[in-house]
Chains A and B, each alone.
Chain A
Amino acid sequence: MSDPMQNDPRLLVHAYVDGELDPAHALELERQLARDPALAAERERIDALRQVIKERLPPLPVPLALARRIDAAVGSSRTPARAFSAPPSWRALAASVIVAAGLASSATWFEMRPAPAEATADMVVASHLRALMAPQPIDVVSSDRHTVKPWFNGRVTEAPRVVDLSQEGFPLVGGRVDVIGRTPVPTLVYGRRQHLISLMALPSSQSRLGMPSERTISGYHIVTWTEGGVTYWAVSDVAVSDLEAFAKAFREAPA
């Protein structure tokens, strides 16, 4: 760290706009910004650059064909010894859990302890991706909620609320069962132009209303909220504004 550049304010200003300076250095740099117009102009240029990159070059979702290739490559690269014990595919795994869910009539069979939010968010995105990779991302294909809702009976402990949002531009495409942690959860699939939105309904110990919050994991947006003892996770590669509009429409739709 003998580089004399390390204390150059024109270098530190980058760390400053990135929020990476410790409070003492940040304070010192703010003083320098106040008395050095050239440095202040530099800071504005950096801010403008960061902003324009963020706006014009958003992270790209991974191409579906690539995701499928990887799934196939990883599936086939198992050692033969493992191949017997490992399930042939996630769908078979999911199916076997669905069968188990049907056999075990008591909900206590499942571990209902909620996973930490971060881990759940990762699993939600992974389930969405996995579903997109499968030849058919939906187990029950129907735009009719009176077909989709009963399909969940016996497959999950509680069928989800299914609403018609076609008027709002989010036609119902179908449903499937995902496994989050060890809990099979109902997932509704809605469309938005060429994109799919997965809406997972996880049982929640909280009965009070939780306002929507939003996050992004590697290009996939997630909006989550809690209502009526259920935590909803909406995940998709549509624009955040579209996903927020979807969440709003779902929450406001009559049951």
Chain B
Amino acid sequence: MAGNEDDQARFRRVVLPHLSDAYALARWIVGNATDAEDVVQDACLRAFRGINGFAGGNARAWLLTITRHAAFTWLGKNRPAAMVGVDDLEEVERKELDRGLPMEGRETPEAALIAKADANRLEAAIAQLPVPFREALVLRDVQGLEYREIAEVIKAPIGTVMSRLARARNRLIAGIAAQEKVGEGVGKT
């Protein structure tokens, strides 16, 4: 069947089922719905042009890889400050590690407090994560990809996926605790 279907049919079979995944990733990377739509349209055109290069396998990871690339192109053009180099980031992390265990001195809220975080605060906290952490977290915890799929999309070893995800979650947990404190302060005064 694959032999005689035309590009359009192939595009529809391979790409369309994963359109909302592409849209979700784009939205989380560029930060708003309107620009995400442009990014997804760009990604879909690239996917369409390259549809014959798709060798089968994981169609979702394939489309997400293209979408991520399109989103980074958009960021580079429109939000260059958001493009934290991964090398810079790892360097910052390493220094934090050298100064002492990263877990010490940071907020360790009760799990019950985390469970109460509302959607807006959660979204704001995720939006504040540096892009390499944010994309790992979104791909895993919002979109439910497995580590090996994330590794395929972000072109990094599984060990890197694991450590970025852990750091993203740790920052998020600390962020929720901090917001919670601010919220309490406002409530009291």
- A residues whose Cβ falls under 8 Å from a Cβ of B: 1, 3, 5-6, 10-11, 14-15, 18, 20, 41-42, 44-54, 56-57, 59-63, 65-67, 69-70, 73-75, 77-78, 82, 85-87, 90, 122-123, 125-126, 129-130, 181-182, 217-220
Cα A203 to Cα B13 with chains together (Å) = 21
Interface of A is mostly: helix
Cα A78 to Cα B51 with chains together (Å) = 12
Query: Is the CB–CB distance between A63 and B23 below 8 Å?
Result: yes
- Say if the beta carbon of B84 comes within 8 Å of chain A: no
**In this complex, what residue of A is CB-closest to B33?**
A63
Which residues of chain A have C-beta atoms less than 8 A from B112's C-beta? 48
- B residues whose Cβ falls under 8 Å from a Cβ of A: 1, 6-8, 11-13, 16-24, 27, 33, 37, 40-41, 44-45, 48-49, 60, 97, 103, 108-109, 111-112, 114-119, 122-123, 126, 140-143, 146-147, 157, 159, 162-163, 165-166, 169, 172-173, 176
Contact among A53, A77, A86, A182 for B1, CB-based, below 8 A: A182
Evaluate whether A45 and B21 lie within 8 angstroms (CB atoms) in the complex, with A20-B147, A74-B48 already known. Answer: no
Query: Is the CB–CB distance between B17 and A218 below 8 Å?
Result: yes
Query: Is the CB–CB distance between A11 and B13 below 8 Å?
Result: no
Query: Is the CB–CB distance between A60 and B162 below 8 Å?
Result: no
Evaluate whether A70 and B41 lie within 8 angstroms (CB atoms) in the complex, with A14-B166, A18-B140, A45-B114 already known. Answer: yes
Which residues of chain A have C-beta atoms less than 8 A from B17's C-beta? 122, 125-126, 129, 217-218
Query: Is the CB–CB distance between A63 and B117 below 8 Å?
Result: no
**In this complex, what residue of B is CB-closest to A126?**
B16
Query: Is the CB–CB distance between A62 and B19 below 8 Å?
Result: yes
| 11 A-B interface contacts by CB (under 8 A) | A52-B115, A56-B118, A57-B126, A62-B40, A63-B37, A69-B37, A85-B6, A86-B6, A125-B17, A129-B17, A130-B16
Query: Is the CB–CB distance between B119 and A69 below 8 Å?
Result: no
Query: Is the CB–CB distance between B19 and A129 below 8 Å?
Result: yes
Query: Is the CB–CB distance between B41 and A69 below 8 Å?
Result: yes
Which residues of chain A have C-beta atoms less than 8 A from B117's C-beta? 52, 56
Query: Is the CB–CB distance between B122 and A56 below 8 Å?
Result: yes
